[in-house]
Structure 1
Amino acid sequence: MTILIGYLPTPEGEAALDAGLAEAALRGEGVVILNSPRRGAPVDGSLVDSSVADGLVARAAGAGVTASVDQAEHGSDLVDTFVTLAEKHTASLAVIGLRRRSPVGKLVMGSNAQRLLLDLPIPVLAVKPR
């Protein structure tokens, strides 16, 4: 089994990575770190380069966890990417970071986090940065 971690280079992404690695170490499972760029975006500040990806894998190794970084592109629906990867890697858990948003912001823009919580067919651990 595998734990799927949603990662962006943000405080929320760091919180998800920390929690996911801790959970994987407890369960004796590997992790897949999803750093997903939006399809067709010419520049994506949330996409990590290979040296950062290598650093994430090294961080996992330091925690005693085997990890890989997946940068599968997503279109308008990030949730589909999570579902596909959860099935592909037989994930037992998904870990995501939450950011603070106003109710109006969620209504207008939607919430990928909310959709992940509701639509993923596996348990989801949602964490906030300290």
Structure 2
Amino acid sequence: MTVLVGYIPSAEGEAALWTGIAESLRRAEPLVVVNASRGRAAAGARLATEGDIDRVARVLADSGVEHEVRLLLGVAGDAARELVDLAASLPASVIVIGLRRRTATGPPTMGATAQRVLLEASCPVLTVTRSPAPLEHLGKGAPAAVEAAGDHSSSSHQPSRADACR
């Protein structure tokens, strides 16, 4: 089984990436990060640049998870179909995607891609919103930091928003 992350270069995409890393470590499964688009012209801000992909690859390498990064351009269908089909073919134990917020205080919104992934995926889908604090602090110590965050045996452990998803 594999953890699959639908990534776009945004705060929500970063939250999905870091949540995917944590899930990969927790489940002891490899991680596949995908950025899919119909093509460069139609992609706009959702298409990861070469710099974005290089940075994601460095973060993943530093995290210690077995990983693969895929940039899918010119997909015949759309990003939702690509994620759902890839999840079935891997197979994926979970798909991780980010949801946007309309305003700082408003509820998360569900775009057409997120809605289709939720409705069509044959595996669980974990949705996340942007983190209120940067997750870069995990950096090179990601495996130890994520494992420590998941250790609930300590009486000093304060539950976090991530704990509510477990």
Q: Structure 1 length as normaliser, TM-score?
A: 0.82
Does the CA-based 8 Å contact 1:37-1:44 persist in structure 2?
Answer: no
Q: CA deviation at 1:95?
A: 0.1
Contact 2:38–2:78 (Cα < 8 Å) also in 1: no
CA distance in 2: counterparts of 1:6 and 1:56, whole angstroms: 12
For the residues of structure 1 that align with 2:27 and 2:93, how far apart are their CA atoms? 10
Q: CA deviation at 1:41?
A: 2.4
Counterpart position of 1:96: 97
Relative contact order: is structure 1 or structure 2 higher (C-alpha 8 Å, sep ≥ 6)?
1
- Within a 5 Å distance, the mapping from 1:1-130 to structure 2 comes to 1-39=1-39, 41=41, 44-73=44-73, 74-101=75-102, 111-129=112-130, 130=132
Aligned to 2:137: none
| Secondary structure class of the residue paired with 2:8 | coil
Structure 1 CA distance for aligned equivalents of residues 51 and 2 of structure 2: 23
Give percent identity, aligned residues only: 40
Structure 1 residue runs without a partner (length 5+)? none
8 Å CA contact 2:34, 2:70 repeated in 1: yes
Give the Cα–Cα distance (whole angstroms) in 2 for the partners of residues 47 and 111 of structure 1.
16
CA drift at 1:40? 6.5
The whole-number CA distance in structure 1 between the counterparts of 2:20 and 2:43 is 27
Deviation at 1:117, TM superposition (A): 1.0
Using the alignment, how far apart are the partners of 1:25 and 1:111 within structure 2? 29
What secondary structure, in the 3-state scheme, does the structure 2 residue paired with 1:52 have? Answer: helix
Deviates more, 1:61-70 or 1:72-81: 72-81
Secondary structure of the residue aligned to 1:121 is: coil
Give the 3 Å change call, closer, same or farther, for CA 64–89 of structure 1 in structure 2: same
Q: Is the 8 A contact 1:22 1:63 kept in 2?
A: no
Question: Given that residues 7 and 17 in structure 1 are in contact (C-alpha distance below 8 angstroms), is that contact kept between their aligned partners in structure 2?
Answer: yes
Measured after TM superposition, the shift of residue 42 of structure 1 is 6.0
Give the CA RMSD over aligned residues: 2.4
The alignment covers a number of residue pairs equal to 126
5+ residue gaps in structure 2? Answer: 133-166
